[in-house]
Every structure is written in C-alpha cells, then in structure tokens.
C-alpha cells in the first residue's frame, strides 16, 4: 500500500508486476495479529507508577453499592422488556441490527471489546467516586437516573446469562450500549453533585 504514485512506479520497477503485488498485499492482509501477554500491561502500569507518571485509581466507597442493588432488583423486574433478544439455543435470530464494525477482523473486534470493557469499568469507578445522591432530588432527574440504571442492569443481565449465546458483534453492541448509558449516568450524576455543592 504505497503512499504515492512515485512509490507505485518504483514498486513496479522493483520487479513485481501488478498481479504479484496484489498477491503480496492479499497475503499481508491475511497475516494474523498477535496479542501481548496479560503481564505486559501490569509491567507498564508498575513502571508508570514507579516513575510517578499517573494518578492512582479512585476506589469505590461503600455508600454507592446502591447502584449494584438497584441494578439487580431492576434485572428481576425488567429483564423481559427493553432490549432485543439475541440468538438462543433454539436458533432464534431476532437481533435487529448488525453494526458496520462487524466487518472488522477478529483480532480488531477483540481489541475493541476489551477497550469497551475497560472503559465501562473506568466509568463505574467515576460513578463511585461521586458523592452519594442527595435526599431531595428533582423528580425528573430521579426518573431519568432510575431509567438509565434499569437499562444498564438489563444489559448486565444479558451479558451474564450463560444460556444466551451471543456472537462477538452482539456482545460488542451490548458493551457499546453499556458504555453509552454509563456515560450518560456519570454526566447526570456529576451535574447533580455540582448542583448540590452550591
């Protein structure tokens, strides 16, 4: 995949014809990617901390465990509503959309999924670091927060249900949606905390 016309001419002069180059590029596209061992990130994190390059993670306070409780309760009540049902053992194929990024190769998809999981975890940390909900909240805000938590809980239920077999693309779709909802929740709770600070 040379960058400019000059390079392409040079490539032709290097002794490879068009068909040979096409075969070569096709071969390059099929080469597998290699994932680094798990320990590599631990080494990076340890070195970054040792050099004082990063801030420490904010650890959760116990007062925010209500989120998990609310999510669990909502799961029981609302599991049957809301989200489309992915393919199951019965062969049901009702998932409505296949995202454009489903065309990506497996290694890239796995990378994206990993990134979404970590981002989701980081947002959980952010949420836990916020002060607890005030006693008096606006009804509209409370309802919106409750709605978001319910949707997140439903996604968690789907992702943790071992009887549901999901394709990689479906899992990515769920994780992407979870990150989107978590983002909204964090923004809403941050705004709420800022309002109460005054």
Partner 1 sequence: MSKFTDIQIDPGIVRRAARGDIGAHEIIYRAYGTPVYSICLRFTRVPAHAEDLTQETFVEVIRSISGFRGDAPLGAWIRRIAVSKALMFLRSAWHRRGQSLDDDWEEATPQRAEAGAAGQADQGIDLDAALARLPAVSRAVIWLHDVEGFTHREIAALMGKTESFSKSQLSRAYQRLRPMLEGEAAAAGEAASAADAALGSC
Site residues, partner 1 (CB under 8 A) = 1-4, 7, 10-11, 14-16, 19-20, 23-37, 39-41, 43-45, 47-49, 51, 53-57, 104, 107-108, 110-112, 114-115, 117-119, 121-122, 125
Rounded to an integer, what distance in angstroms lies between the CA atom of residue 84 and that of residue 99?
14
Shortest Å distance, C-beta 173 to partner 1? 16
The least distance separating partner 1 from the CB of residue 34, rounded to whole angstroms, comes to 5
Nearer to partner 1, 25 or 66 (CB): 25
Q: Which is nearer to partner 1, 2 or 84 (CB)?
A: 2
CA distance linking residue 67 with residue 73, whole number of Å? 10
Smallest distance, Å, CB 6 to partner 1? 9
**Comparison of 36 and 140: residue with beta carbon closer to partner 1:** 36
Nearer CB in complex with partner 1: 37/140: 37
Residue 103: name the closest of 156, 169, 175, 188 by CA: 169
Least distance from partner 1 to the Cβ atom of residue 169, Å: 16
Cα angle for residues 148, 154, 159 (degrees, 5° grid): 125
- Residue 88 CB, nearest approach to partner 1 (Å): 29
Cβ proximity of 182 and 122 under 8 Å: no
Nearer CB in complex with partner 1: 14/76: 14
Q: Encode burial over 153-170: b for 16+ CB neighbours within 10 A, e otherwise.
A: bbbbbbeeeeeeebeebb
Residue with tokens 């978590």: 182
């Amino acid at each position: 995949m040379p960058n400019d016309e000059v390079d392409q001419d040079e490539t032709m002069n290097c002794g490879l014809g068009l068909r040979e180059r096409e075969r070569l590029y096709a071969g390059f596209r099929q080469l597998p990617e290699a994932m680094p061992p798990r320990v590599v990130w631990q080494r990076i994190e340890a070195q970054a901390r040792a050099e004082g390059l990063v801030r420490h993670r904010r650890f959760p306070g116990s007062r925010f465990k209500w989120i998990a409780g609310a999510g669990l309760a909502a799961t029981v009540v609302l599991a049957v509503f809301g989200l489309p049902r992915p393919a199951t053992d019965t062969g049901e194929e009702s998932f409505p959309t296949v995202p454009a990024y489903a065309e990506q190769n497996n290694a890239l998809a796995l990378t994206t999924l990993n990134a979404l999981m970590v981002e989701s975890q980081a947002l959980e940390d952010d949420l836990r670091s916020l002060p607890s909900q005030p006693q008096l909240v606006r009804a509209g805000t409370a309802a919106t927060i409750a709605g978001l938590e319910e949707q997140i809980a439903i996604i968690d239920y789907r992702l943790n249900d071992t009887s549901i077999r999901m394709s990689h693309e479906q899992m990515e779709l769920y994780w992407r949606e979870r990150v989107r909802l978590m983002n909204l929740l964090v923004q809403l709770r941050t705004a709420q905390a800022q309002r109460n600070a005054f």
